[in-house]
C-alpha cells in the first residue's frame, strides 16, 4: 500500500500533565494546540496510539495534529503508532519541538539531520528507523551558565516572558502551514530566523 501523498502528520513534542504545560520543553505541544484552535479542531484521545489527535485539512492536504501522551523521551512510540496505522510517509511527517541550541526567539525549519541531543527527536528517529522527516525547531536557549539546560527547559516560563513565547509558537504554527502548502524552501525563506543572544 502506497503512502497517501497528501496525508500529513504534525506532532508537537512535550511532556504530559499540567506540571509541564507552561514549561519551555512543551513549546512543540503548545504550537500544535494553537494550530488546532486556529483550524477549529479539537484534540481528542486516539484509539490505537498513546496520543491526542485532531484531523482536518490545510489547503488540499489532509492532516492529523498530534500531541503524544508519553513523556518526551518516549515520543517515538506514539509517532510510530500513528505513522504505521495511517501509512504516512516520513516525508510527510513534521515534528515541532523546543531547541536549546537556538536562542530564544529563533525559529528554524529543516528536513533530516541529527537530533542535536533533543531526546524526543532521538526517540522518533529510533522508533521510525530514519532521520528523514521535517522538524520545526523553536529556540528556547540554554538558560544561565550555572544551570543545567535539562532543568532550565523544565521550569515554568516567567510571566513576563509568556507573551513572547506565545508569539514565537504562533510563528511556528504559521511555518507548519506554509511548509505543507508551499514546501520547505518557502517555509525556510519566510520563517527561518536566529535571534541575537540576550546580554
Please state, in angstroms and rounded to a whole number, the distance separating the CA atoms of residues 106 and 122.
Answer: 21
**Any catalytic annotation for residue 25?**
yes
Q: For residues 107 and 172, is the Cβ–Cβ distance under 8 A?
A: yes
User: Cell 526517540 appears where?
Assistant: 123
| From 25, 97, 145, 164, active-site residue | 25
Burial environment of residue 185 by CB neighbours within 10 A (0 to 12, 13 to 18, 19 or more)? exposed
Q: Which residues pair with 134 in a beta bridge?
A: 94, 111
Count CB neighbours of 161 within 10 A. Answer: 11
Q: For residues 152 and 144, is the Cβ–Cβ distance under 8 A?
A: yes
Give catalytic residues, as residue numbers. 25
Amino acid at each position: 500500500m502506497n503512502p497517501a501523498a497528501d496525508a500529513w502528520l504534525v506532532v508537537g513534542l512535550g511532556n504530559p500533565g499540567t506540571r509541564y504545560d507552561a514549561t519551555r520543553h512543551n513549546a512543540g505541544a503548545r504550537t500544535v494546540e494553537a494550530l488546532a484552535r486556529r483550524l477549529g479542531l479539537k484534540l481528542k484521545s486516539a484509539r490505537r496510539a498513546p496520543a491526542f489527535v485532531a484531523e482536518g485539512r490545510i489547503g488540499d492536504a489532509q492532516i492529523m495534529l498530534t500531541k503524544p501522551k508519553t513523556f518526551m523521551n518516549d515520543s517515538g512510540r506514539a509517532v510510530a503508532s500513528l505513522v504505521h496505522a495511517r501509512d504516512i510517509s516520513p516525508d510527510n511527517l513534521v515534528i515541532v519541538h523546543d531547541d536549546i541550541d537556538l536562542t530564544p526567539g529563533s525559529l528554524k525549519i529543516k528536513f533530516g539531520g541529527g537530533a542535536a541531543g533533543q531526546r524526543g527527536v532521538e526517540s522518533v528517529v529510533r522508533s521510525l528507523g530514519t532521520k528523514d522527516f521535517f522538524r520545526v525547531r523553536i529556540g528556547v536557549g540554554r538558560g544561565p551558565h550555572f544551570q543545567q539546560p535539562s532543568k532550565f527547559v523544565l521550569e515554568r516560563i516567567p510571566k513576563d516572558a509568556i507573551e513572547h513565547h506565545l508569539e514565537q509558537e504562533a510563528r511556528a504554527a504559521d511555518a507548519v502551514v506554509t511548509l505543507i502548502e508551499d514546501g520547505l524552501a518557502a517555509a525556510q525563506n519566510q520563517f527561518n530566523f536566529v535571534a541575537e543572544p540576550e546580554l
